[in-house]
Amino acid sequence: MRLDKVLGHVGYGSRKEVQKLIKSKKVTVDGKCVVKSEANVNPEMQAICVSGEDIDYQEFYYYLLNKPAGYVSATEDPRDETVIDLLETIDRNKELFPVGRLDKDTEGLLVLTNDGKLAHDLLSPKKHVDKTYYAKVAGKMVPEDIEIFAAGMTLNDGTTYRPGKLEIISSGEEISEIYVTISEGKFHQVKKMVRFVGKEVTYLQRIQMGQLKLPEDLALGEYRQLTKEELVALQQA
């Protein structure tokens, strides 16, 4: 791996800034000064120091974000702010991206990483990783709706949904509260499933993905690195 790419990855600035840093003879590899930005290094096996301090290198990063409404699940967007814009204290050189998508008006658990393999495993249709949502609904949810969700659905446009699990928390004439667990991630899926039984989602929050749960102490808009236990739970999804 190129030395300038390693230093950029761990937050020492843009490629131009890193190259200037290397030329200033402030970077050593295994105790020897290196002045060529293109020098090949192994950051996991070699001691790389900047101004005498060891760099803190990680190949992959895993963050948990409690996504607020109003942000799109993308790395960039010409019209809207993205979830990446929320990561004020994280260097863009880490090249993080969201694992899957939450609608712009949907809140809750969103994993951000630069680990493409993990993201692929979590999103692969073959894996059927469960995702659980809390929703407020305009309308009265009834026991028959549970059976319809459990049987799977085919919409009028031909879209099919695998069986899902509906739990009714409360059911009023005007407002109901529910949990919905699905093993797919199709566009507006929870909203469309609720609409299929004649109601409308007014608020949606993802609270779990696989075995990973949204922490109660992670406020809306806040983010942090996954713990080792949380990462293992996610990898076992």
Catalytic residues: 103
Contacts of 137 (CB under 8 A, 6+ apart): 175, 176, 177, 178, 194, 199, 200, 201, 202
Residue 234 to residue 237: CA distance in whole angstroms: 5
Query: Given the DSSP bridges, would you call strands 107-113 and 62-67 parallel, antiparallel or unpaired?
Result: antiparallel
Q: CA geometry: angle at 200 spanning 195 and 206, to 5°?
A: 95
